Amino acid sequence: MKHQFIKVAAASPALKVADPAFNATKIIETIEKQAEKGTEILVFPELSLSGYTCGDLFLQKALLDGCLNALKRVAAATQGKKMLVFVGLPVSAEGKLYNCAAALSGGEVLAFIPKTYLPNYNEYYERRYFAPAPEEDVTFPLAEGWGQMRRDLLFYDGEHPQIVVGCEICEDLWAPEAPSVGHCKRGATVIVNLSASNETVGKREYRHKLLAAQSGKNLCAYVYCDAGEGESTSDMVFAGNNIVYENGVCLAESKPFAGGLAEAEVDVGFLLSERRRNSTFSPEGDAYRMEASFVTDGDLTLRNIDPMPFVPQEEGERRERAALILEMQAHAFARRIAHIHARTAVIGVSGGLDSTLALLVACRAFDLLGKSREDILAVSMPGFGTSLKTKNNATALMQALGVSSRQIPISQTVLKHFKDIGHDPEEMNTTYENAQARYRTMVLMDLAGDTGGLVIGTGDMSELALGWCTYNGDHISMYAVNSAVPKTLVKYLVLAEAERLGGRAEVVLKSVLGTEISPELLPPDEKGEIAQKTEDLIGPYELHDFYLYRFLRRGDGPAKTLYLAERAFAGRYDRATLKKWLVVFYRRFFAQQFKRNCVPDGVKVGSVSLSPRADLRMPSDASAVLWVEEAEGL
């Protein structure tokens, strides 16, 4: 799979208890089907060649020999396939019987991994038949020239040595010191589990909790394969509840009694990136590794690449996320207000989304503190580019929220400033734009000083990432409540608050939501409408937020990012457009770090933040050449 994605599957095919030949046939049929799909790691249940519920038949030599003969057939079926397959069977070695997983690839039995922890709930459970894996990591040579038996084995692809697979069996996951912990510390990025977990009320939910925790704390992918409906139902029932997790997130599941096939594409590159950044993950010890060839160059076919990774896809989850973020922002700002004993909060309100969100947060914070909203001083400062729509929205919003408002036109003062510095106002360059932003900031700062207040920053994380702010202008405030909120999420926060408030406030907020994104620093067009459209100048924010997420949160390089963007935005942007704005993203992100290195405090609300104090450590003069050259060469 491209870009360190691995296609995995957990399958529970039809089974007959104590009929290895039948079971092998069904396993081989599954191998053939999954090979056509490009599956690279395929896992079958615990004791899948014999059946888990054989009871005392495990002590019969006929069954043991039948399983070994069946294993030969299954191993032969992997010949010529780029696939690593795990099947379960009982294996006799050194005078004892072991519950094993056999690793198969390239037509061969690579090795056997014995189960470490055996359940013993009553006299009929596994300790009646099987011995636990030896405490020491010893190697048992086996007959017929097949591999060996060893509990600490790891498997890796020779051409992709960082893709490493470890194996444990059922109860091993439930144990306080699961073998998978050691496997991950020794380099395993993917853990497979051959299981036979009978179904009871509440057990599915418990499995999810275990798998989420195990994959999350070990920064790994976890492929869990459960015994299916063919097992004996004398005392228990098995449901084929197969599940795939990646770093605490469920990627795929076959729900109980739903067919027993779970498939997913695991991002091993992301897992490796997480391990590099996570200081609590400490690799230790040497591993006994075996080489196999199972990584292909196939394309992604299963994985959904979310075009808006900062915004939950489900409406209900979006509402919950929005409510939580608004609470976080409000409580953080309230804490700062209370700590410095500020009498007022001062904010510039333009009628755009960002300042609207900041004003909503300020209102929530003052409500939490029991302070009057009249102590929030909202200031409208129309300038050269202010449109009638945004000006009216700003005024209506202040009235609807019950805050104090002031309007301070800035055009004449800025023209006087141009005269002072010798700038021709007909030359609408960076100076023309920045002078307005800096003067607005000065007005707010002076009003805060005059009223014993604190200036609220309105800029969002996407603008910080691209440096789309005026240094010592809107770049500066006394507390930046939106600094960790990406642009693609802002509108959902405003929408959530609109629906919560209702009435006149909701009407005004929905008008704001329909306004074009613009700094409004250049004059409107001949119709009085916004002429300066941000996304025409620096690119669509949905692309830049996607690139920012892949770069900082997932650790992806340019090639992988573009590959995923083509899938996420298929039918909306062509490759040339995606590449163009990707290059712009890298250039701007690196060039604008000097602005981020001196930003004001602001609350972190998600997994990505650009704060130089809490998250992003990056020199202001770092070169973008590696990223830009790779992106331009795609």
Catalytic residue from among 40, 46, 265, 497:
46
Q: What angle do CA 479, 465, 602 make, to 5 degrees?
A: 15
Q: Annotate 74-92 with DSSP letters as a single string.
A: HHHHTTT---EEEEEEEEE
From 554, 440, 104, 485, select the one nearest 332 (Cα to Cα): 485
The alpha carbon dihedral of 170, 173, 175, 177 has a sign of positive
The secondary structure element, H or E, covering residue 339 is helix 315-340
DSSP3 helix / strand / coil % (the chain, rounded to 5):
40, 15, 40
Query: Token digits for 79?
Result: 């010949």
170 catalytic per annotation: yes
Q: In which residue are the tokens 């993917």 written? A: 190
φ/ψ (deg, to 5) at 125 = -85, -170
Query: Token digits for 259?
Result: 């067919």
φ/ψ (deg, to 5) at 484 = -115, 15
Q: Under 8 Å CB-to-CB from 255, ≥6 apart: which residues?
A: 204, 241
Q: Annotate 497-521 with DSSP letters as a single string.
A: HHHHH-HHHHHHHHHHHTSPP----
Catalytic residue from among 54, 167, 170, 184:
170
Catalytic residue from among 26, 115, 487, 579:
115
User: Please, what is the end-to-end C-alpha distance for the chain in angstroms?
Assistant: 19
In this structure, are strands 108-114 and 140-141 parallel, antiparallel, or unpaired?
unpaired
Q: Give the SS3 label for residue 112.
A: strand
Dihedral angle computed from the Cα positions of residues 468, 358, 474 and 537, in that order, rounded to the nearest 10 degrees: 20
In this structure, are strands 41-43 and 5-11 parallel, antiparallel, or unpaired?
parallel
In Å, how far are 136, 477, 633 from 350, measured between CA atoms? 69, 16, 41
108 catalytic per annotation: no
The secondary structure element, H or E, covering residue 565 is helix 558-568
391 catalytic per annotation: no
Known catalytic residues?
A: 46, 115, 170
